[in-house]
Amino acid sequence: MKKDIVILGGGIAGLTTALALKKIGMEATIVEAAPVFKPVGAGITLAANAMQVYSLLGIYDKLLTEGNSLGELKVLAQKGKKISQANADRLKNGFTNLAISRHTLHNILLNEIDQKNIISGKKSIRMVQEEEKVKVWFDDQSFMTCDALIVAEGIHSTIRKQLLPSSTIRYSGYTCWRGLTTNTNLNIQETSETWGKNGRFGIVPIGDNQIYWFACKNASSQNQEMKAWKQKELLQNFQDYHEDIKDVLKNTPDNHIIWNDIIDLKPISTYAFGSVLLIGDAAHATTPNMGQGACQAIEDAFFLAHELQRNQSIQTAFIQFEQKRLRRTQTIVNQS
């Protein structure tokens, strides 16, 4: 199929989709709102299902070199006593479960995509479908016309809000801080999540001698006090927890700590709208409890390329995609 395809959003969904389309000989233009491409977040775990897709897309070995393969995942009580232990190897189905910095993942994806197909600093504001074409306008007054529009704009997607004004973003009831720090002096090898009365704390070695950590605590939505918490306040909150947590926090400068409330998208029942398709968090943003948000976006990219290869008509491919993806992604949102 020789078609003009525009992907809105250069996050994991948009970049992986551009790569998957390239592998089947289709070009797409990515239009990203941010002036500079940069991932939001610290580290990420890519479960075996996502790594299987990346294997098919030819970047598995690169990811393996840059990330850290996860073995055992421990759940610990506040003082470090083991509550449970899961062997991630049993879940891997021939592919590793990987922890990697988001920055590194982004760069690996960006390096695979032709730079001429990437436009940054343009935020979509609305679109209209006219006969077989889609016209999309941007915040700089410009517009583009294409045969297919793939919307990978994340949970706050402008185009999803236009298509489904009543789609609902839900607050989970807990807020989250994330950070990255060097593991050089800490030398922590274990992946763990600690549960205690003041919240959860996850520690994940991610390769390149770095630690990715996250801290979660029940709170009211957009709590301004929590938003301002940095190293000092987090150390205070986790003062009765085991030493690794305090070491990780002490080792993380304030400017390496990010904060956000945990939200998801109430499952929607349509992803395909003629020549417009919602994918990734724009379609099925989930809470991170199962570590499957980005993994599902990566699966989307694979299934979309597969359907575009099989079907002559873009609209049919989009409907087929929706039929394959709705149930699985909704199950994950609900279970998470």
Choosing from 6, 21, 45, 249, the residue that interacts with ligand FAD (CB under 6 A) is 45
Q: Does 172 bind ligand FAD (CB under 6 A)?
A: no
Choosing from 6, 98, 203, 295, the residue that interacts with ligand FAD (CB under 6 A) is 295
DSSP character string of 95-155: S--EEEEHHHHHHHHHHHS-GGGEEES--EEEEEEETTEEEEEETTS-EEEESEEEE---T
CB of 286 to ligand FAD, least distance (A): 7
Degrees (nearest 5) of the Cα angle 101, 103, 107? Answer: 120
Query: Mask: binding to ligand FAD, 174-193, rule CB under 6 A, as x and -?
Result: --x-x---------------
Around 315, how many Cα atoms within 13 Å sit in the side-chain half-sphere?
8
Pairing mode, if any, of strands 5-8 and 148-151? Answer: parallel
Q: Does 123 bind ligand FAD (CB under 6 A)?
A: yes
Amino acid symbol at 28: A
Choosing from 7, 11, 63, 96, the residue that interacts with ligand FAD (CB under 6 A) is 11
CB of 107 to ligand FAD, least distance (A): 14
Q: Does 158 bind ligand FAD (CB under 6 A)?
A: yes
Are the C-beta atoms of residues 196 and 78 closer than 8 Å to each other? yes
Choosing from 5, 6, 7, 10, the residue that interacts with ligand FAD (CB under 6 A) is 10
The angle that helices 48-56 and 293-310 make with each other, rounded to 10 degrees, is 40
CB of 101 to ligand FAD, least distance (A): 12
Distance CA 206, CA 102 (A): 10
Question: Where on the chain is the footprint of ligand FAD (CB under 6 A)?
Answer: 8-14, 31-34, 41, 44-45, 123-124, 152-154, 158, 176, 178, 214, 280-281, 288, 291-295, 297
